[in-house]
């Protein structure tokens, strides 16, 4: 699998952006949550092959769409416009969340609604590149890392 961090960076997403999202989701449950602790959980999620394949698939769809090379004009327009009733981007993201249990799923729904930090930025940017799949993927990676952190909380506090 290609270097997934480099691919995310190429699309404007740093690991720190994802760490900030995990912090947003989990900080309230800790007396003190150090962002360096979160790095371990984000790395763990990003190192999983199924996660990497979901990330790469979503980004490939975004890139084919912005290059007008998706293969279906109708779907291409739907994806380019990030149409509200098109939910396949979220369904791909659930694939990541499903590997990390119910806390990942509920956190994904929450972060998708609030759109903190990089997720809001990606969601608002329709001019420089297509982010229809990427914003959900980043939300799912953050939600998955938040879930793993929550399950380890007992040992950390």
By beta-carbon proximity to Mg ion, the closer residue of 18 and 150 is 18
By beta-carbon proximity to Mg ion, the closer residue of 17 and 135 is 135
By beta-carbon proximity to Mg ion, the closer residue of 33 and 143 is 143
Query: 68-107: which residues touch Mg ion (CB under 5 A)?
Result: 89
With tokens 């659930």, the residue in question is 94
Q: How far is the CB of 25 from Mg ion (least distance, A)?
A: 18
By beta-carbon proximity to Mg ion, the closer residue of 38 and 139 is 139
Q: Does residue 65 interact with Mg ion by CB under 5 A? A: no
The residue among 98, 96, 118, 107 whose CA lies nearest residue 28 is 107
- Out of 26, 76, 132, 147, point to the residue binding Mg ion (CB under 5 A): 132
DSSP H helical ranges for 67-133: 73-80, 88-97, 102-114, 117-124
- Out of 136, 141, 146, 148, point to the residue binding Mg ion (CB under 5 A): 136
State whether residue 68 is helix, strand or coil: coil
146 Cβ contact partners less than 8 Å away, ≥ 6 residues apart: 22, 25, 26, 41, 103, 104, 107
Candidates 54-62, 71-79, 93-101, 135-143: pick the segment binding Mg ion (CB under 5 A): 135-143
With tokens 């790469």, the residue in question is 56
The residues binding Mg ion (CB under 5 A) are 89, 132, 135-136
């Amino acid at each position: 699998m290609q270097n997934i961090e480099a691919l995310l960076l190429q699309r404007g997403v740093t690991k720190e952006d994802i760490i900030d999202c995990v912090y947003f989701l989990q900080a309230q449950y800790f007396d003190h949550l150090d962002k360096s602790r979160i790095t371990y959980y984000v790395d763990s999620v990003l190192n999983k092959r199924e996660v990497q394949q979901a990330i790469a698939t979503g980004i490939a769809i975004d890139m084919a769409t912005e290059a007008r090379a998706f293969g279906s004009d109708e779907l291409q327009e739907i994806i380019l416009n990030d149409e509200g009733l098109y939910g396949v981007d979220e369904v791909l993201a659930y694939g990541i969340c499903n590997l990390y249990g119910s806390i990942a799923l509920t956190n994904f729904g929450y972060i998708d609604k609030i759109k903190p930090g990089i997720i809001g930025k990606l969601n608002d940017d329709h001019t420089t590149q297509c982010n229809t799949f990427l914003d959900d993927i980043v939300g799912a990676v953050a939600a998955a890392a938040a879930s793993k952190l929550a399950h380890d909380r007992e040992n950390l506090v």
